[in-house]
Chain A
Amino acid sequence: MNWNWSHVDDFMPLFWDGVELTLKALFFGTLIAFSLGLVWAIAQRSEKKWIRWPVTVFTEFIRNTPLLVQLFFLFYVVPEWGPSMSPLTTGIVGLGLHYSTYTSEVYRAGIEGVPDGQWEAATALSLSKRRTWTAVILPQAVRRVIPALGNYVIIMLKESPQMAAIGALDMLGQAQGYSQATFTYEAISVVGVAFIVIAYPASVLLRVLERRLVR
């Protein structure tokens, strides 16, 4: 066993750069996942078949295919006819899109959990459709699903290193770069431990939140 702590010290500045990029990707990816997921969820409750069907097919397809291949697709295929994106932007879009298909299921469960009587009461008060959604249904549904949504933030964090495969310098990308340049291997261990150190307390926090919010 040969472990060299000085490599760990040398890697630390790069590590913090990586943390910054990972968190940036996570933040914007989460924004996309949370908002797009809501769009999918509402669209899937639409009365119009031509809205419901394509959205269902699209989200099923995205959810059941690997994020990694989707990242490749966004990075190599999309520029052939669309915008060219940096690795970070691709990572954000990829993570956000992929996990929006999961959050849409979370929202859907939350919306279905709102009792039918609430819809009927809103109708009885002749609230508009928009008003029914924004003032009655969503506030009740979202409160219930906050812990589940939070869990997907943690999952996105753990899956975010995949963007290193398209050249993003997140925590894993930095570690890889450092290791390959110096022929050392300590950096990966640092990153591995870092993920546990971030993800475990976050999931404990969420469980506390779940106990408070969902009952």
Chain B
Amino acid sequence: MMSSEFFGNWFLPGIWITVQVTLLSAALAFVIAFPIGVLRTNRLWIVRFLAGAYFEIFRSTSSLVFMFWIAFTVPPVFNISFQPMFAGVLALGITYGAYASEIVRGALAAVPPAQREAGIALNFTPAQRLRRIELPQAWPEMIPPFNNLLIELLKGTSLVSLIAVADMTFAGDLLRLVKNESAPIYTLLLALYFVFAFVLTRGMRLLERHAKKRIGQAPEKTGLFSGMRAKSSIDAVTGTGGAK
């Protein structure tokens, strides 16, 4: 089994790196998703087209290949250099940002048109309607699909181990090479990812409950074992469902 020295030197820092990569790329994806998702509902077709092109291109991209490309092709071609972790976060953030933009767009499209009309009748500007009426109502609808996407992102962070970021998968691989023993380490790794996914789901459920309460909706009751994935009409990864 693992020596405590190895555990302290590699595994614990690896766990911390996984947490960091998950949170940083989720933040980047979030920051990308909102403008892109909103622009995809813009009334000017050129704006919709460009934002839609971003979504289509990165939805059609293999995130691992894109990560390799950023880590190994961009630095020599453009004569710049950056940390592997930066490349990993950038690649994950950009790809998952595209997926998440679909969630934002779908939830905005699902706000009843009557709400937009009420906003017009009260003479709000389009920007005020978006900020005060449409986004606050769409937000609770975004959380369940965001939850599912966040778990996909967590799983996706394991890819950074392939561009030499010392996350927990990387540490596991290292241990296999050093100890020539693989069963315990990979079992532990899988269990850790599962626990992380579980914790994220719980956190997102709380967030959802809070968001629904803030707009005066009663949250749905969900049991502890009601499945990790939230039931949602929008599936960002397959691009199915949601209002068009």
Chains A and B are bound partners? yes
Residue positions of A touching B, CB distance < 8 A: 1-3, 60-61, 63-70, 72-73, 76-77, 80, 105, 147-148, 151-152, 154-155, 157-162, 164-165, 171-172, 175-176, 179, 185-186, 188-189, 191-192, 195-196, 199-200, 203, 207, 210
Q: Would you call B173 and A188 a contact (CB within 8 A)?
A: no
Total interface residues in chain B, CB < 8 Å: 49
A–B Cβ pairs within 8 angstroms, 28 of them: A1-B78, A64-B155, A65-B155, A65-B190, A68-B159, A68-B169, A69-B172, A69-B186, A72-B176, A73-B190, A77-B182, A147-B240, A148-B238, A151-B240, A154-B60, A159-B62, A159-B64, A161-B64, A172-B62, A185-B73, A186-B73, A189-B69, A196-B60, A196-B61, A199-B59, A199-B60, A200-B57, A207-B239
The answer on a CB contact under 8 Å between B228 and A64 is yes
Render B66-79 as a binary contact track against A, CB cut-off 8 A, 1 for contact. 10110011001111
Contacts of B61 in A (CB 8 A): 158, 192, 195-196, 199
Report the Cα distance A165→B159, complex, angstroms. Answer: 9
Q: How far is the CA of A72 from the CA of B187 in the complex (A)?
A: 10
A80 touches B65 (CB 8 A): no
Chain A residue nearest in CB terms to B79: A1
Interface string of B177-202 (1 = CB under 8 A from A): 00000110011011001100110000
Q: List the interface of chain B (C-beta within 8 A of A).
A: 56-57, 59-66, 68-69, 72-73, 76-79, 151, 154-159, 161-162, 169, 172-173, 176, 182-183, 186-187, 189-190, 193-194, 197-198, 227-229, 235, 237-240
Number of A-B contacts (CB under 8 A): 137
